[in-house]
Structure 1
Amino acid sequence: MADWLAAIILGLVEGLTEFIPVSSTGHLLLAKQLLGLADEPWNTFIVMIQLGAILAVVVVYFQRLWKVLLGLPGKDPAARRFALSVLLAFFPSAVLGLLFHDFIKDVLFDPMIVCVTLIVGGFALIALERWAPPARIDDSMGFSWKTALGVGIAQCLSIIPGVSRSGATIVGGLLLGVDKRAAAEFSFFLAIPTMVGAFALDFWESRELLTGDVVSLIAIGFVVSFFSGLFVVKTLVDFVGRYGFAPFAAWRILVGTIGLLVMWAYA
């Protein structure tokens, strides 16, 4: 398969899965395996194209984010509270990402780990749909520092491919009494510093791999992930409000099970 076509496929997978609780990294690693692509530069490609999907969040929520930026210099309490909540939630995974960057890429980027965590996470979502505590927080931009930090700690689980960054943060929010829509939106906002940080770290760590050809492939994946991510961000909150997380749980279990069966068949 031509590299440019592989970049389009992976960019589409990234954009469609980044913001739903099914693990974009897990799906990308499985897709890479199925396409027969080498670990490098494609593992670096997988991390760096996530910034395209994050740009979709900025576009969709531009007015609300811009209002926060304008309010910070004027010491708007609501703007400062929101900015602090995102930074607090970002901090735990940022520390772990810096400490375990090489271990994550060299050891945890394993299709078997991805499949197992997809299945386990699917059953966790099913359990949460049934036994989640009553929602008492419905404003994604008004989290207390304790709620934000709790969501950030939950996000740390997503350093394991297959867990899902959005899934970990949404589950963390639901367990802390956040309603589904607010949990999904805060997951969008938290994705911005998290994925920008991951992009910057991987850019620096993998700078020697970034030849002209690799950068061109990343650019293709970036654009495709942006437009597919734009579609998901615009539709996900309403979808979750209507159907909950059960469809994503079923998808996780299905994909993880098929992945394990394929690996066992070709072992």
Structure 2
Amino acid sequence: MDWVYAIIYGIVEGITEFLPISSTGHLILTGNLMGVPWTKEVKDAFEVVIQGGAILSVLVYYWRDFLKLRDVGTDRTQQQLWSGVLVATIPAVILGLLLGDRIQEVLFKPSVVAWALIVGGVLMWLIENRRVQPDVHAIEGIGLPKALMIGALQCLALLWPGFSRSASSILGGMALGLDRPTATKFSFYLGVPTLGGAALLNLIQDREIIFGEIGLVNVLLGAGVSFVVAYLAIGWLLKFVSTNNFKGFAVYRVLVGALILVLVATGVMSNGSLG
């Protein structure tokens, strides 16, 4: 059955990683509902590694943009873009190194994730209702101060598991004056060093679990499915945000959060630490 779990995890990861609905919350719900028999160490390792597939989808989707990195030494536009991405990554790197293990140990529980989904959904609704007039319409024009603030807001996903990295970075960008498509695209770019670094570090640290208990075939299967589904999700989300707001996602987050709380209260889902 491991290969079935790998495929389902890959589908869930691919759909939810870049949508503002929390991949963490959905992976927790998926694992519990399926009754996956893996230990928490195996689950944690697998969930982080298959993020690599989702990150690869960003590199492939925007391959022309990433190819322009070769001109970063001479192209002012590329310097502005990638310096913004780099600066925005710094807060998450610092916070992850300082508090990552402690946060996972104390806060990585279904009830905590559920409330993060609900609160994030409410904030999403409020931000959509009280939006500032956007004055940034391209990721090259974000600037370092706003990039740093978006990076800091992204840390909400680290401090409160289930809040969603995509939601915090997209909503943060919108609150700071980025239009919806620009905030969404910057969130994609920001995910490459943030999630890619975490996946690579996890692959190195937990290689015995990944290649021993999970198996290379299942890892490749999960990451491959995640890549394909995430690639499709990116294209869909970019089209969606060009003509729609995020209120539907806000309602969905509240409903999923409420479902997790009900499952915990009825004993269907354990509320023990998942980290």
Structure 1 length as normaliser, TM-score?
0.95
User: How many residues align structurally?
Assistant: 264
Identity of aligned residues (%): 39
Q: Which runs of 5+ in 1 are unaligned?
A: none
Equivalent residue, structure 1, for 2:243: 242
Equivalent residue, structure 2, for 1:117: 116
> In the aligned structure 1, how far is the partner of 2:221 from the partner of 2:163?
26
How much does 1:30 deviate?
1.8
Query: In 1, are the aligned partners of 2:210 and 2:219 still within 8 Å (CA)?
Result: no
1:98-109 to structure 2, matched below 5 A, reads: 98-109=97-108
Q: Does 1:71 align with 2:71?
A: yes
Equivalent residue, structure 1, for 2:220: 219
How much does 1:207 deviate?
3.0
SS of the residue aligned with 1:141?
A: helix
Deviates more, 1:220-229 or 1:95-104: 95-104
Q: Encode CA deviations 1:59-117: one digit per residue, 9 max, x unaligned.
A: 111111212x12113x2111111110000000100111112232233333211111111
Equivalent residue, structure 1, for 2:47: 46
The residue identity in structure 2 corresponding to 1:44 is: A
> In the aligned structure 2, how far is the partner of 1:196 from the partner of 1:176?
25
Q: Encode CA deviations 1:200-241: one digit per residue, 9 max, x unaligned.
A: 222233233233451332211100100000101111112012
Equivalent residue, structure 2, for 1:195: 195
> In the aligned structure 1, how far is the partner of 2:23 from the partner of 2:110?
13
> In the aligned structure 2, how far is the partner of 1:35 from the partner of 1:254?
20
1:77-156 to structure 2, matched below 5 A, reads: 77-156=76-155
> In the aligned structure 1, how far is the partner of 2:162 from the partner of 2:210?
26
The residue identity in structure 1 corresponding to 2:246 is: F
SS of the residue aligned with 1:259?
A: helix
Residue 142 and residue 65 in structure 1: after superposition, are their counterparts in 2 closer, same or farther (change >3 A)? farther
Q: Does 1:266 align with 2:267?
A: yes
Query: In 2, are the aligned partners of 1:141 and 1:186 still within 8 Å (CA)?
Result: no
Equivalent residue, structure 2, for 1:8: 7
SS of the residue aligned with 2:128?
A: helix
Query: In 2, are the aligned partners of 1:29 and 1:109 still within 8 Å (CA)?
Result: no
Query: In 1, are the aligned partners of 2:154 and 2:169 still within 8 Å (CA)?
Result: yes
> In the aligned structure 1, how far is the partner of 2:17 from the partner of 2:85?
18
The residue identity in structure 2 corresponding to 1:166 is: S
Structure 2 length as normaliser, TM-score?
0.92
Query: In 2, are the aligned partners of 1:45 and 1:218 still within 8 Å (CA)?
Result: yes
> In the aligned structure 2, how far is the partner of 1:32 from the partner of 1:109?
14
> In the aligned structure 1, how far is the partner of 2:184 from the partner of 2:15?
15
The residue identity in structure 2 corresponding to 1:177 is: G
Deviates more, 1:255-264 or 1:200-209: 200-209
> In the aligned structure 2, how far is the partner of 1:144 from the partner of 1:178?
11
Query: In 2, are the aligned partners of 1:14 and 1:53 still within 8 Å (CA)?
Result: yes
How much does 1:44 deviate?
1.1
SS of the residue aligned with 2:41?
A: coil
1:198-209 to structure 2, matched below 5 A, reads: 198-209=198-209
Query: In 2, are the aligned partners of 1:12 and 1:225 still within 8 Å (CA)?
Result: yes
> In the aligned structure 2, how far is the partner of 1:106 from the partner of 1:210?
21
The residue identity in structure 2 corresponding to 1:145 is: L
> In the aligned structure 1, how far is the partner of 2:16 from the partner of 2:193?
18
Equivalent residue, structure 2, for 1:171: 171
RMSD after superposition: 1.4
